[in-house]
Structure 1
Amino acid sequence: MPDITTLPIHSSVLDDQEGNEAIPSHPLGVKPTGNALLASWSLRDHIGTFQHLPDELLLELLEYLNGSDLLSLGRTCKAFYAFTRAEELWKTLFIGSPPDEFTWRGTWRSTYLNLPPSKVPVIDCSDLYSDVLYRPFNCAHISLEPYVTKIPTRNQIPRLPDLSPEEFHAQWADRPFILTEPVKAWPVFSDWSIGSLLSRHGKEKFRAEAVDWPLTTYRDYMADNADESPLYLFDRAFVSKMGLAVGPPESTPDAAYWPPACFAEDFFSVLGQDRPDHQWMIVGPERSGSKFHKDPNATSAWNAVLRGLKYWIMFPSGDKRPPPPGVFVSDDQSEVTSPLSIAEWLLNFHAEARRTPGCMEGVCGEGEIIHVPSGWWHLVVNLESSIALTQNFVPRAHITAALDFLANKPDQVSGFRKNVENPYENFVNGMRKAHPELLSQGLEELQKKADSKKRKWEEIVHGKSEQDEHTSGGFSFGFGDDSDVEVP
């Protein structure tokens, strides 16, 4: 019986859900499960008792094996060879026991085993049908263009040349927007590239998710990997590692960059040396990025692109708003579940997301900077290899949100050093010394929110009187808290 991939198919069937590029063949020839419908046999029929296990469970069992055991099992048959080639297995082994020195070899398996390409066997597994093995490969090769172009007018993130602090506080503190001009004045904008960073800091180690690699090694990874979710360099200590001066050019000699004027006011600065992590350098290849999350500690953020292009899709949050399509949040907002990768989310939920009220989208290019308001859900993906700088801050419009988060969600507070025992108290004390009037306003608003929640709870438990019903304007189960934050 012919394989389904050899049958004549209308060209539209080969297209992506929203694009027009066909996915290349899997390097081992593995095919999606649906192809088995027209197949006379499958390699999976020859793995004994294990053929009765779902592919997901089979891979989960393989996670308990070490590298030697995976190699031994992979030699028993073609099916097990394909399953033991799953990159996530070898990535976990590598991260669990990273060697002091290594050469990136294009895949986690080859790097862990120190195998040059010429030593990696090419085995035909074209009679194996598995969505679990094919899905990561498929997601790593979908075209991003259909998802980031033709943005509906109603969804487009506003683009502005610049904003004054007064304009920001009056109209824009709760809205996403892209500024096109301020970053172009930064020395790092004209000076930084992958090449220039390598020449100065190539041997310096930077944090890329779960690994600390020299920048030269990460460059090799960027240039040659097939990961569904490529490692994202996201380093919080880059300023000290690179010896940068950061601050307004009029008061900071040799300043490398500085926040645009509309973002300069940052009330977390009252914490001094005790403030949480707030500055990051971000470097990543095409397809790297961050899945849906909210920024930590109810902060707002700006993200400036120095090289490359980034696609953003964002949603406001609130007690009456569900999370973005495909995202599931625990009752206390402390855990977020979403598809395994950005590409998988794009394939399955992007079309629905574009139709969802509140959706905002935009592409931030070189020399541009985007504003992410406190509490907004956002997903970002690099459309090209990119370099960016980002910083979290607390503007006056969100002082109450920061107070609320630090006071009422201490188990979700993040980024503080371990010796900082009471972030809320430290923030209140700092604000009391530097900005007593703004602190009073923030605490008063926080008390009003607490009183409102208490009244609504009493209404739920005890009901309303008829007079209350006529004077309150109707009943709502909302609790009015828009400051929930999930840390990526």
Structure 2
Amino acid sequence: MPDITTLPRYPPAADGQQSEEAIPSHPLGVKPSGNALLATWSLRDAIGSFRLLPDELILLLLEHLDGSSLLGIGRTCKALYAFTRAEELWKALFVESPVENFTWRGTWRSTYLNLPASKAPVIDCSHLYSDVLYRPFNCAHITLDPYVTKIPARNQIPRLPDLSPEEFHAEWADRPFVLTEPVKAWPVYKNWSVGTLLSRYGQEKFRAEAVDWPLRTYGDYMADNSDESPLYLFDRAFVPKMGLAVGPPDSTPDAAYWPPACFAEDLFSVLGNDRPDHQWLIIGPERSGSKFHKDPNATSAWNAVLRGPKYWIMFPSGDKRPPPPGVYVSDDQSEVTSPLSIAEWLLNFHAEARRTPGCMEGICGEGEILHVPSGWWHLVVNLEPSTAITQNFIPRAHLGAALDFLSNKADQVSGFRRNVENPYENFVNGMREAYPELLAEALEELQKKSEGKKRKWEDIVHGKTEEAESATGGFSFGFGDDSDVEVP
């Protein structure tokens, strides 16, 4: 059993207290709705019939306008000017009609209009009171310190120097942890920086959510944006784009990186070139990240930080476990609903989450790698501009979960190329050829699980066992008014 090292902390304020940096004034002077209670008048009074509509509906209507129409309606009065300055409106227009060659101008509006920042008009809208307009600005400027410091001891993600494959499979496959040493041997950790990446790959296009931008353009965006949810570069094809060799250094000449030994076993590899997407380059500015989700196809994952620390908050899942606070999931777990941004979730749900049983938190720093077990909910946010590599894999401990997912949630399976028609059958065939014993054990486990659920269902439908009936006077139940009966 390796020694567990001390958890490092994201630096607190100089006086040892959590820093509370003041939120700057909104660039147009817009204020939260509560300020209207003491105001004698509001710019909203001048928008005619629109004043009868809630702010959310006004923005929804503006989403249907093109750029010239937004400019036109923004010239009618100060209040509508402020509404038409909402960045999400211009971001949607830009993404819908991408431009091949453009210059990032600091905001989506200025970039769409090709307007230098110095020429963007600033109009005093200080008598407009709107949470809908103020909230994104507020969320984009909150300090992260209070949410990532003073992590309770019970929540701290364990930190280990390294793990052997035997230790991982025996004790750690179901637990998050951070390894502090393996990544430090990677050439990409030693050689990659923002400067080197831009010099080598600046003109290469990478995927950043809904856009494909040259890396140099994305670098300009990273350095100058005020988005509530900054655009996150998450590219699945970076290995061939960058001409990288990936694999064990003793068998892969000029290897750029390789999975630590404890993560080397990846049963999805039996699919060869037909395996789903599994490795990504991740780059993003401070405050960028991923909202709560589970990794695809019931896979586990590792996430290696090359530059810039990341904060993680994680929760296990299960039939009887609710999703994290503030996260709502459909019955089949195919759809996940949560607050609009990471910052909004932190403001409203972080304190409750920290008190929730099963919560685990930690910071993965430069040269460290974090393990995400199959099925765990996780949210991650960059505390500084960050570069990372992540990879999904299936260890033997979670083979059953992957088989179950591929078989019973075919509509949620993702990452396979279109010509792969039956991922479950292909995976079973590959496992039968390469690891027949592991496959047999996993299928037997799934069969027992299925039979257990069937018996439980029959007990609920047909009533209690004879012993239970005797103890309760022979009472049995159907569905009727038994609203507290747990149905699997």
Rounded to whole Å, the distance in 1 between the matches of 2:127 and 2:241 is 51
Query: 1:302 corresponds to which letter in structure 2?
Result: W
- Shift of residue 118, structure 1, vs aligned partner: 2.1
- Partner deviation per Cα, 1:84-130 (whole Å, 9 max, x = no partner): 00000000000000111110000000000000012211100000000
SS for the counterpart of 2:30 is coil
Cross-structure match for 1:3? none
Please tell me whether the aligned partners of residues 457 and 487 of structure 2 are also in contact (alpha carbons under 8 angstroms): no
**Contact 2:267-2:394 within 8 A present in 1 as well:** yes
Query: In 2, Cα distance between the equivalents of 1:308 and 1:199?
Result: 19
1:315 and 1:377 in contact (8 A); partners too:
yes
More displaced 10-residue stretch of structure 1: 43-52 or 451-460: 451-460
Q: How many aligned positions are there?
A: 459
Per-residue CA distance 1:289-327 (angstroms, 9 max, x = gap): 000000000000000000000000000000110000000
Structure 1 residue 19 displacement after superposition = 5.1
Q: 1: distance between equivalents of 2:342 and 2:456?
A: 38
- CA change 1:469–1:422 in 2 (3 A) is farther
Equivalence for 1:49: 49
Alignment-mate amino acid for residue 136 of structure 1: P
Q: d(CA) in 1 for partners of 2:470 and 2:294?
A: 38
Partner of 1:201: 201
Cα-to-partner distance string for 1:420-465 (whole Å, 9 max, x where unaligned):
1100000000000000000000110111111111111112211122
Give the letter aligned to residue 296 of structure 1.
Answer: P
Please state whether the residue corresponding to 1:140 is helix, strand or coil.
helix
Please show how residues 56-135 of structure 1 align to structure 2 within 5 Å.
56-135=56-135
CA separation of 1:24 and 1:467: change in aligned 2, threshold 3 A: same
SS at match of 1:301: strand
Classify 1:120/1:470 alpha carbon distance in 2 versus 1 (closer, same or farther; 3 Å).
farther
Partner of residue 363, structure 2: 363
CA contact (8 A) 1:456 1:477 kept: no
| Structure 1 residues 76 and 367, CA gap change in structure 2 (3 angstroms) | same
1:342-394 superposed Cα distances (whole Å, 9 cap, x missing partner)? 00000000000000000000000000000000000000000000100000000
1:467 offset after TM fit, Å?
2.7
Aligned-partner Cα distance in 2 for 1:61–1:470: 64
Q: How does 1:15-54 map to 2 (within 5 A)?
A: 20-54=20-54
User: How far did residue 476 of structure 1 move?
Assistant: 7.9
Separation of aligned partners in 1, 2:418 and 2:268: 17
1:34 to partner: Cα distance:
0.2
Superposition TM-score, scaled by structure 2 size: 0.93
2:398 paired with 1:394:
no
Which whole-Å CA distance do the structure 2 matches of 1:404 and 1:375 have between them?
A: 12
User: Partners of 1:141 and 1:215 in 2: how far apart?
Assistant: 25
> Deviation at 1:468?
6.2
Q: Structure 2 CA distance, aligned partners of 1:456 and 1:296?
A: 29
* C-alpha contact (below 8 Å) 1:294/1:378 kept by paired residues: yes
Aligned to 1:231: 231
Counterpart Cα distance in 1 of 2:226 and 2:120: 15
Measure the CA separation in 2 of the matches of 1:286 and 1:176. Answer: 23
1:253-268 superposed matches below 5 A: 253-268=253-268
CA drift at 1:477: 3.0
Cα distance in 2 for partners of 1:351, 1:19 equals 17
Q: 1:431 to 1:476 in 2, by over 3 A?
A: farther
- What does residue 7 of structure 2 align with? none
The answer on whether the counterparts of 2:459 and 2:465 sit within 8 Å (CA) in structure 1 is no
Does 2:413 align with 1:413? yes
Distance in 1 separating the partners of 2:302 and 2:387: 14
Alignment match, 2:169: 169
8 Å CA contact retained: 2:207, 2:213: yes
Cα separation, partners in 2 of 1:476 and 1:266, compared to 1, 3 Å: farther
1:329 CA displacement: 0.3
Q: Which amino acid aligns with 2:213?
A: W
Do the aligned partners of 1:155 and 1:359 also contact (CA within 8 Å) in 2? yes
Aligned to 1:451: 451
Gaps of 5+ in 1: 1-17, 480-488
1:306 pairs with 2:306: yes
> 2-side partners of 1:470 and 1:124: how far apart?
78
Corresponding residue of 1:282: 282
Query: SS at the partner of 1:122?
Result: coil
**Cα distance in 2, alignment partners of residues 149 and 364 from structure 1:** 13
Which amino acid in 2 is paired with 1:276? P
Q: Which runs of 5+ in 2 are unaligned?
A: 1-17, 472-483
| Whole-Å separation in 1 of the counterparts to 2:77 and 2:258 | 58
TM-score (norm 1): 0.93
Q: Distance in 1 between matches of 2:72 and 2:485?
A: 61
Q: Which residue matches 1:477?
A: 486
Q: 1:469 to 1:444 in 2, by over 3 A?
A: farther
Contact 1:319 1:478 in 2 (8 A): no
| AA in 2 matched with 1:371 | H
The one-letter code matched in structure 1 to 2:184 is K
Question: Quick one: which amino acid aligns to residue 134 of structure 1?
Answer: Y
Match of 1:8 in 2: none
Q: Which residue of 2 aligns with 1:272?
A: 272
Q: What is the rounded CA distance, in whole Å, between the counterparts of 2:98 and 2:369 in structure 1?
A: 36
Q: Secondary structure at the match of 2:135?
A: helix
- Give the equivalent residue in structure 2 for 1:180: 180
Return the letter of the residue paired with 1:34: G
Amino acid corresponding to residue 457 of structure 1 in structure 2:
W
AA in 2 matched with 1:120? A
The whole-number CA distance in structure 2 between the counterparts of 1:470 and 1:380 is 53
- Equivalent residue for 1:485? none
